[in-house]
Structure 1
């Protein structure tokens, strides 16, 4: 597996390495989809930081409450991330060494 792209945040690079290793992503298309998903992840985190700092709602010059535009960025980035992860077609079923439910269930 290749190394994570440098333009991703530290959190996204860790995820890139973990997902890439767990699912043995070595093909160019898989790496591109994962990079796209994590770019959207970074955008989502940036929007979440703006929302945390300024709030989800603000009052405009007419004293009317308005949604913070960062809420739209967060929503759209989350959708883009999930779409890219779905396109990777990863098997999300936990690995088991025996039939039946995992212990503790």
Structure 2
């Protein structure tokens, strides 16, 4: 079976993580979709974090009142999505809510 390539729209570090997960676990097609969603959520969180680090968590509206930046909500939602998707994939050895854990590949650990 051919090893799938990471989606090209992911950030380089996230593509590397995606590829390492695919190399370490036997993934069904639905697992790959969940993994892609998790990787996208991670990238969204990192992008929002970069904006917040640069611009702060608030801005002043036209009346001079502080308002929360939209990136705060984006970061929070992306973190929650990432954590839930990882739980569904059960990559950390803890069984997902109702899904079996993806088995490790035969050569897991031998490539390090």
Cα drift, residue 91 of structure 1: 3.5
Q: Is residue 2–residue 26 contact of structure 1 (8 Å, CA) maintained in 2? A: no
Q: CA offsets per residue over residues 7-38 of structure 1, 9 Å max, x none?
A: 1111110110112222x133101111100100
Q: CA offsets per residue over residues 62-93 of structure 1, 9 Å max, x none?
A: 11111111000000011111111111122447
Give the secondary structure class of the aligned counterpart of 2:5. Answer: coil
Taking structure 1 as the reference length, the TM-score comes to: 0.79
1:92 and 1:26, CA in 2 relative to 1: closer, same or farther beyond 3 A?
closer
Q: Is residue 37–residue 81 contact of structure 1 (8 Å, CA) maintained in 2? A: yes
Question: Which residue of 1 is the match for residue 58 of structure 2?
Answer: 57
Question: Which residue of 1 is the match for residue 109 of structure 2?
Answer: none
Taking structure 2 as the reference length, the TM-score comes to: 0.75
Partners of 1:5 and 1:88 in 2: how far apart?
18
CA RMSD in angstroms comes to 1.5
Partners of 2:89 and 2:7 in 1: how far apart?
18
* Consecutive unaligned residues in structure 2, runs of 5 or more: 95-112
* Consecutive unaligned residues in structure 1, runs of 5 or more: 94-105
* Equivalent residues, number: 92
